[in-house]
Chains A and B, each alone.
Chain A
């Protein structure tokens, strides 16, 4: 903050100039500047995913690098991703919800009991489970935002309490099978091949059009716009990634001469994509989302700006718990059943790890919904590949713990770096 630094900025540009017109080179330079300044974004997750795929691919080429396993991996990761999306809202506030894993389990238990034991229609069962999530989130928020108990303690209490509630709902030691086709098909059925390609086109065209429209409106309003070459590069990169992933999923993934054909995009993929789009819209295009970032960045400033901070916190905890319930439903669908081990501590740690690896800060104020997906992919690769490499669950637990610590360290270091470089 020295006078010399200030003067250098004074003489640099003024508002009349339109930065970012320089094309891809300048955009890349700007990105490199941001990374040096501690704003890593999705970079650790992308590097992590590539390294892990190479490592597991070399160690276990026959079992890890198969199309069957790739589809598996997405199914394993989906629940973690959705749970992590909910945690992003809570983490953005600088809070934590340790009970989310058992909230997922409780949701699955309610779904199982109402569907199988009481024969409810599936939409009613899902609605009941989601409503439970709203109530849990509201209760946590009441204690955190109105009473002022640290969220760590409140959610730890709910961690224990919900574990108990789940046991009581399921009944001692029981496993409840789920036979409803609608619920099971999310995780066990695939889209027809044509529909899969349509999904790819919708994703790419949707991104291309919405980002083009944003540039167009800015240009019309006479505001500085990024160069079209940067836009084209981004759309191109997204198109390549989406097309490769969808192509892999479209292949026949049964072993040779198996009686049935399994191919196509699992139904859970469009569900996750829809959640990402909807929640990203909520977080970046609405007042509510803006206020979430403001509360996480400087709660006192948000309060003085007239934002109702307890209300924002309450909504974030409700979103977190409700998305945890969605994750629980996905887990039940994947396992075809609900047991006391559905969800729980392991799932929670995976989800927290996913959000943090993806680039969401534990300190609040920084994070995106898509972080939950990129980070969730990394976590899913670890959860999927590690048992192929070692059978010892002791080693697996220790490695998972280390990965979480590594992610948190990257977060802390990038935060310090950001503070040092004034970002």
Chain B
């Protein structure tokens, strides 16, 4: 199904094999294979309705897969809910961020997982750890960790959301269109941050519609086409046009779905 052009990389952190998912009569994902390697940014691209959101929601445990195999660090695992995903070290940064405007940066980063001494919140420890995490990501754009999130810019808010995802020794961070609503300078900021996550050894999945983003940060590109994995390729092996063709037609020359498969997918 998928054609992988892979060299000498580390073993995959997350591997999906033969994933299927239907909502009633609609077959959303068909025999999807997908690999995420540690220390790499894997771009997940595809047109609207290609199944990107469904795929990540299944990885996050929000929907169950119908069938197929999930390997995490080489071991087969079952993900029955968001808690299972979190336990494995999978964190998702949603497009609408899910931050509380009326709370400050530290409170948001620890929301739902506060640190305690006895019954009281351990504010100093939380602030220290939040500060350390932001520093490790080389984030220097926040005036204070104690300012409310409502006073932050779009890029800073995205930064806080991403920092929250890596606070918990997570291994795989999935970012759903993190630059969609951002200006040029802020997009740059966030993409640098995405790069640094990978440099720290995390597996990063970046969902995006923006080809510039893809070629700027991605090591690997996975193209979904109408629910099928058209191809997962190394970013350096393809060019802009080929990726666009994979997204819109499911194939590009030798790459991608064979004509018959593409036609079948088209019918579906």
Contacts and interface: CB of A to CB of B under 8 A. Distances in A.
Interface of A: 1-3, 5-7, 9-10, 12-16, 19, 217-218, 220-224, 281, 285-287, 290-291, 293-294, 296-298, 300-302, 304-307, 365-366, 418, 422-423
B139 to A, nearest CB: 8
B134 A15 contact: yes
Contacts of A221: 124-125, 127-128
A423 B111 contact: no
Nearest to A285: B120
B112 A293 contact: no
A302 B108 CA distance: 10
A285 B112 CA distance: 14
Interface of A is mostly: helix
A290 B183 contact: no
B100 interface: yes
Interface string B170-197: 0000000000000111100000000000
Given A6-B155, A9-B143, A306 B113 contact: yes
A6 B124 contact: no
A297 B94 contact: no
Interface stretch (B11-19, B144-152, B255-263): B144-152
A236 to B, nearest CB: 24
B153 A5 contact: yes
A166 B177 CA distance: 57
A10 B101 CA distance: 20
Contact of B140 (A1, A3, A14, A224): A14
Contacts of B97: 301
Contacts of B154: 1, 6
B102 A293 contact: yes
B100 A422 contact: no
Q: Which of B112, B114, B120, B154 has the most CB of A within 10 A?
A: B112
Interface in B95-146: 97-103, 107, 111-114, 116, 119-121, 124-125, 127-128, 131, 134-135, 139-145
B119 A286 contact: yes
B156 interface: yes
B116 A3 contact: no
A311 to B, nearest CB: 13
Q: How large is the interface on B (under 10, 10 to 19, 20 to 34, 35 or more residues)?
A: 35 or more
Given A6-B156, A298-B101, 16 more contacts: A3-B184, A9-B143, A9-B153, A13-B144, A14-B140, A290-B103, A293-B107, A294-B100, A297-B102, A298-B99, A301-B98, A301-B111, A302-B112, A304-B98, A306-B112, A422-B151
Contacts of B103: 290, 293-294, 297
Contacts of B125: 221
A287 B102 contact: no
Contacts of B141: 6, 9-10, 14
A3 B185 contact: yes
Contact of B98 (A291, A293, A296, A298): A298
B112 A6 contact: no
Nearest to A6: B153
Nearest to B140: A14
A227 to B, nearest CB: 15
B142 A15 contact: yes
Contacts of B99: 298, 301
A234 B5 CA distance: 66
Nearest to A8: B153
A6 B143 contact: no
Nearest to B83: A306
